[in-house]
Amino acid sequence: MARGGRMIRRPAARCVGGWKLQDSGHAVANRQKVGTPQVTQASQHAALPNEADVLRAVASLYDDELRPYSRILRKRIAEQSGSRGTGAKDCDAGRLRALCESFKSLRVEPEAGGEWSALLVDRPPRFVDIYSNIDIYPEEVWTAADAYFRSLAETNGYALPGGRYASAQALVARRLPFLAGYTVG
């Protein structure tokens, strides 16, 4: 989570759901291996989203201060399609990239590890650096987060899904007071 800042990285001690609790009790999301998505027969034949769906998803990632990497963009498109009752639209990253490259309002940039991102040409990128080691959060946030994650561990409470994005979305959905005003970036 971030507030116009960066994701925190600290050495981990133990895991709770998709979160690592630090020796000091602080929590950070587990790192996911970045790779090229597997192309399945179902994803090859899945319907491509339309331009409005893609632009809505990219804009929402900008709002969350998340760089629209292909893997995250695919998840956001499916998430938004499902919430509108139009069914999840999943397609392989290669077909989605070609689609994004055809839009004048997007610029596709290659990223490390075969990844790519789709950037809005008319909006400056202001994304959280999820790999930064700078801690921008006040101690009160960490204290409240510590208490919350300890309560999950002690009560076998509501576990978080694996992965940073899914865990961040789950935490936002819980409307936790100590995260009020922060983005999922």
pLDDT in tens, 80-104: 887 665 655 567 788 899 999 999 9
Can you give the pLDDT at residue 153?
77
Sign of CA dihedral 72, 174, 17, 139: positive
> What's the rounded Cα separation, in Å, for the pair 174 and 167?
11
Can you give the pLDDT at residue 135?
85
> HEC states along 60-117?
HHHHCCCCCEHHHHHHHHHHHHHHCCCCCCCCCHHHHHHHHHCCCCEEEEECHHHCEE
